Amino acid sequence: MTENLISKIQGAYLGDLLGQPAALADTVASLSSLAGIPSRALAAERIVLTGMGASLHAVHPLRVRLVRSGRTAFVVETAELIHAQSALLDARTLVIAVSQSGRSAETVELLNIASQRTSRPFIIGVTNGADSPLAQRADAKIVIRAGSEHSVSCKTYLSTLAALEWLGGAICSEDVAPILAELGLAAPAVKAYYADWQAKVEQLASEFSNLRHLFLTGRGTSLAAVSTGAIILKESTRIQAEGMSTPEFRHGLFELINPGLYALVFAGEAEMVPLNESLVSDIRRMGGRAVLIGEKTAPGPFRLPALPERLRPMTEMLPVQLLSLALAALAGHVPGDFERAAKVTVVL
């Protein structure tokens, strides 16, 4: 990697990225000491999964898992939940509220609304803020213990995915011991992926130097990486990135395909790989650029570690994180440094 490129990506955000293996190991260790889920929560008629930004998108794999197990589960943005869909906040509902800080304005208002109702939902809070309102006021809590984070969600996002995987097993009355054993594989896999991060970032910087339009697409549980990836790319690089499902991309977006368009397509679960591969082929055939992100792609930044299926939502974020470094350097920005926003939103 050139010295100039190295100098542009140094900073607290890079430190957070390289600290992800340790954060994941700490999260998994903390999960092993958690008790089960209270019976009232398990008996809920419906489950509402809520959050804002990356915290919201992290719940996609959990929703898929709950629906496949026969549970009625909704994903509702917290701002939408407290303003337009607050009728869901009654005693029939289990709310799984995810907030990395545990103190965002929407999360605090959700807690306020719930506390004022005689028929109120059971709330499980998932947060990195052990002393936050969410951790202190939720009926049950999972503190992910990912450590401090500079700005853009990375350590806390991967650790949240691990916590939600454990929670899904508990809600579905599964034996969580095998889940914890597999989650323990995540930290060394992330460390191994980042071992040659400089070479990977240099490759990405070369490949994306003429970028005009950037899209992230996928299906199923990969929608977590699709949506969160678009957010962190915008936050880290100030370059427009759009996330959408693979079939949604086919509904009109083909008109944008040109040599300046690049699509990151997540291969996803085995039964969805052919559908996603087909989109990559079609984009390339029409003159755009596209790459499949998965365990069987060519060696390089887009090849994911071969791990149990439940870990894939975590590893899918790794190429996007490195791309955020490369694009920020190309644009002349310090990756992960906010100029107008803040890590915690305190105004509704």
- C-alpha span between 194 and 301 (Å, rounded): 9
- C-alpha span between 127 and 43 (Å, rounded): 23
pLDDT at residue 245 is higher than 50: yes
- C-alpha span between 164 and 205 (Å, rounded): 33
CB atoms within 10 A of CB 83: 13
pLDDT at residue 340 is higher than 60: no
pLDDT higher at 293 or 1: 293
CB atoms within 10 A of CB 43: 10
pLDDT tens, position by position, 38-83: 888 999 999 999 999 999 999 999 999 999 999 999 999 999 999 9
DSSP sequence for 4-58? HHHHHH-SHHHHHHHTHHHHHHHHHHHHTT-----HHHHT-SEEEEE-STHHHHT
**54 and 164 Cβ atoms separated by less than 8 Å:** no
**CATH 3.40.50.10490-classified regions of the chain:** 17-187, 193-331
pLDDT tens, position by position, 254-282: 888 999 899 999 999 999 999 999 999 99
| Bridge partner list, 47 | 73, 94
Q: What is the per-residue pLDDT for 105?
A: 94
Dihedral sign, Cα of residue 144, residue 146, residue 150, residue 152: negative
Q: What is the CATH number of domain 17-187?
A: 3.40.50.10490
Assigned superfamily of 193-331: Glucose-6-phosphate isomerase like protein; domain 1 (3.40.50.10490)
Q: What is the per-residue pLDDT for 342?
A: 53
Mean predicted lDDT score pLDDT of the chain = 92
**The pTM is what?**
0.94
pLDDT at residue 185 is higher than 70: yes
For the chain, how long is the longest CA-to-CA vector?
62
